[in-house]
Structure 1
């Protein structure tokens, strides 16, 4: 990981990350650990090796709780466990998502419900679970990961883009409702970040070239490009920013 800014208030903060063991989530876990935060994260796959790796590399061991976030009861239990271990969660990063490709005319009700469960429903209930602790602590920060895909009007995954759009509505409503408690709620919308999954499944030379042509900045995004923005939104450096969506895409959607 390259050097990034230091946010002193994150040192010792109790942070909870969904999907924190792979892709952008793994980079987020490392980024918060390097700030000195007490990080707990959930994922469906065993992350024991990653936990050991992070302790070796950062000197700070995260708490991994195996959990399918579409199981709301299990998600609530994981959040409770993290709070009991690290203290009340004051920074929630809703990162886990699934952008599986699908055609509108082939979508069945079961798939639709699953897509909303992982990409929208889990975000709401994770927020609900941490909010009382943030209220009691006198404030906190929530970062909801969305995507530029719905802003671009992309086809090929309508259930996913619908959830993305919904996350922005959720972010604004929660920011208004819990602002008096000094809880800040923002969304972070990455562009096409070249994780291993993206490189394996969809990042063909032609697709990469076409997307880069749309960017103002002619460099592909890596997970590390997203970490600094998430740290900023979770820290007191952004204390008067709430209800916003920060786009990190190299200049695709913000310029038309």
Structure 2
């Protein structure tokens, strides 16, 4: 989509800025088209940042996925790519989400659906990058956004790498600075949390089972197990925008 610099500035001034966007740009929500617009830093600082090519930005858009949100069109000013358009997802970023609000059974559905897309992109040779702060959640759906920094690779271990990246992100979200002490109290749970090549489904299944046993009933959300939350404060590995 070609647009004048003046019109783009006017549009950005009158739409909602979103958190995120990474180190290479800023994201906005345009309600008129119900899409996300990401504007690269090269729009305002062309002498400091290179303009990407259309092919580079849209390199993944021929792949049909449900839960990985790739750019669908570029935004150009005077023929230069200064941003892109992507679908808007009605969900909350995990770093803005209280893990105590999570229903683990619903969450598991989202995880299993994400695995299907992870297999697809891995088969295409795509490597997931910068995931942990770009995961969105809405009940039983999980999405990955801000995917323009993903890249192609011809290495043999792409699926394993992508699955581990996703698994580690989810486990840190659930545990970090909330259930560290509980996880450390069980050798098997701790081994799974700290280990490599984690089986996330097995971890969550055991996590749910042990929490429920300690509470004396099957928990629905992690808030049902809030009495097991850390008694001390730990320096977080996952920076959240909420207070515990």
Q: Which has the higher contact order (CA 8 A, sep 6+)?
A: 1
- TM interval, short-chain normalised: under 0.3
Structure with the larger helix share: 1
TM-score (normalizing by structure 2): 0.27
